[in-house]
Amino acid sequence: MTQSAIARPLGVTQGNVSFYEKGQTVPPAVAGKLIELARDHGFALTYDHIYGGALLPELIGTEGAPDVPALEVRNAA
């Protein structure tokens, strides 16, 4: 996906997505939308992937891929 295509459903600019890719902290509200966007595209992304440095997830439904847990809102502080 392009940065612009990701930015639209997140409610941010393409420039914001670029900054997030370069390591700028993702606000919690945007992180929640990113998790939903990833799930819509078949990826089991969690807050640990965004904030905790977890390895990127595998496609949902592939053999050995983890089940997608329910969303849990956490404070990024």
Q: Are 56 and 64 in contact (CB under 8 A)?
A: no
Tell me whether residue 77 is in a domain. no
As a whole-number percent, the residues of the chain with pLDDT over 70 amount to 74
Tell me whether residue 70 is in a domain. no
Per the structure, the complete domain to which residue 17 belongs is given by 3-51
Q: How sure is the predictor about 22, in pLDDT bands with cuts at 50, 70 and 90?
A: very high
Q: Are 66 and 44 in contact (CB under 8 A)?
A: yes
Tell me whether residue 9 is in a domain. yes
Tell me whether residue 41 is in a domain. yes
The pLDDT of residue 32 is above 50? yes
pTM: 0.70
Cα angle 21, 11, 77; round to 5: 60
Amino acid at 2: T
CA dist., res. 17 & res. 3, Å (int): 6
